[in-house]
């Protein structure tokens, strides 16, 4: 009898321990957040999200998909994006289609000319606008070293003007920045330096900027409050005081190039994501896009997914389910 009971008790204890980890992560929030006008959505690169009951039960109405800037000439990339937009449309979800760069053999591609960007952006708009896409991002995470726009804010400003001219009446994320650097960092790769040079390049057209995107991982990984994101917002308003802000990419990181795998850390950062977004609403933040639904089981260079490859949920999903009711759709 013992040989059957002992293994059973061990497995039962293990099950309760795993449940305890998930429960403790989901219970990281001590009290519900007050209602917020910030709209919440989850971005991903896969259509399976739209048919997952765990996603549909949250009744989300916005999502984000990033697409190579020249995908109109890449059949595989184009078909994937079309499939995603069609699935989102069927689910009555608005897609923020965000253009991005590519990595070739570990090296970022050369910076596209303004003429090349204009040509390719117009192709994408001609394909996706008739499908209902009216929310666009000029370029994903422009000040990140993996992007060809890195340290080239003048070119990024040219891209914005090209996108604006090509998509009249569209809602456009004009500038999209990772919160790297800090309040005293004015280098062109930091958010302050990049923002300053971007608006300088626009000159009198600075008022054309309606929305600025923020990737606030720096505030989430280390529990230091919202000071970096708030500084970015305050600094950007020096150049356009009427600009609004979307947190276009956020969430708890399970693992990346510099961090080992930790779903507990991911859950804790996910809680901060909601707390920070609610706090920043008074500073002009209107939307929060969490990234992402589909996990890579800590294999990819960046993994912030909620659903493991075997279909099971990480503890961070429980944190989202606990908080989503406080946010607008």
- Please report, for residues 31, 204, 311, the alpha-carbon distance to residue 291 in angstroms, rounded to integers and kept in the order given: 24, 34, 17
Strand partners, 294: 307
- List Cβ neighbours of 198 (8 Å cut-off, separation of 6 or more): 153, 154, 156, 157, 175
- Give this prediction's pTM: 0.90
What pLDDT was estimated at residue 30? 53
- List Cβ neighbours of 85 (8 Å cut-off, separation of 6 or more): 65, 95, 97, 128, 131, 132, 133
Tens of pLDDT along the chain (329 residues) come to 334 344 434 443 444 344 444 444 444 455 779 999 999 999 999 999 999 999 999 999 999 999 999 999 999 999 999 999 999 999 999 999 999 999 887 788 899 999 999 999 999 999 999 999 999 999 999 999 999 999 999 999 999 999 999 999 999 999 999 998 777 788 888 999 999 999 999 999 999 999 999 999 878 866 667 889 999 999 999 999 999 999 999 999 999 888 899 999 999 999 999 999 999 999 999 999 999 999 999 998 889 999 999 999 999 999 999 999 999 99
Sign of CA dihedral 65, 70, 74, 75: positive
Q: For 46-100, what is each residue's pLDDT tens digit?
A: 999 999 999 999 999 999 999 999 999 999 999 999 999 999 999 999 999 999 9
Kindly give the pairing relationship between strand 107-108 and strand 103-104: antiparallel
**How many Å apart are CA 68 and CA 40, to the nearest integer?**
24
Which domain, by its residues, includes 64?
A: 2-328
**How many Å apart are CA 181 and CA 219, to the nearest integer?**
12
Number of domains in the chain: 1
Tell me if residue 274 falls in helix, strand or coil: helix
What pLDDT was estimated at residue 185? 81
Spell out the alpha helix ranges (H) of 27-144.
Answer: 53-56, 75-90, 114-128
CATH number for position 75: 3.20.20.80
Tokens of 21: 């980890």
Rg (CA), the chain: 21
């Amino acid at each position: 009898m013992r040989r059957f009971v002992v293994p059973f008790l061990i497995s039962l204890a293990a099950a309760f321990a795993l449940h305890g980890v998930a429960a403790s992560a989901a219970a990281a929030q001590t009290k519900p957040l007050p209602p917020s006008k910030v709209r919440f959505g989850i971005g991903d690169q896969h259509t399976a999200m739209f048919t997952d009951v765990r996603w549909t039960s949250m009744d989300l109405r916005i999502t984000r998909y990033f697409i190579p800037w020249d995908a109109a000439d890449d059949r595989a990339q184009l078909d994937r994006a079309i499939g995603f937009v069609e699935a989102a449309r069927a689910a009555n979800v608005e897609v923020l289609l965000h253009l991005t760069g590519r990595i070739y053999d570990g090296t970022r591609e050369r910076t596209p000319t303004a003429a090349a960007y204009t040509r390719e952006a117009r192709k994408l708009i001609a394909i996706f606008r008739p499908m209902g896409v009216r929310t666009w991002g000029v370029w994903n995470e422009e000040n990140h070293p993996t992007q060809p726009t890195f340290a080239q804010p003048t070119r990024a400003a040219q891209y914005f003007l090209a996108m604006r001219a090509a998509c009249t009446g569209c809602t456009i994320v004009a500038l999209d920045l990772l919160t790297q650097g800090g309040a005293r960092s004015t280098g062109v790769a930091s958010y302050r330096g990049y923002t300053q040079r971007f608006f300088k390049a626009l000159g009198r057209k600075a008022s054309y900027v309606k929305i600025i995107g923020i990737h606030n991982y720096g505030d989430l990984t280390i529990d230091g409050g919202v000071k970096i994101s708030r500084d970015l917002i305050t600094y950007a308003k020096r150049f356009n005081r009427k600009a609004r802000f979307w947190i276009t990419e956020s969430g708890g990181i399970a693992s990346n190039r510099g961090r080992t795998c930790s779903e507990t850390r991911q859950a804790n950062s996910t809680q901060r994501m909601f707390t920070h977004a609610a706090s920043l609403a008074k500073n002009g933040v209107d939307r929060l896009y969490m990234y992402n639904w589909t996990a890579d089981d800590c294999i990819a260079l960046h993994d912030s997914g909620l659903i493991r490859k075997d279909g099971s949920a990480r503890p961070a999903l429980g944190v989202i389910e606990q908080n989503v009711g406080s946010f607008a759709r």
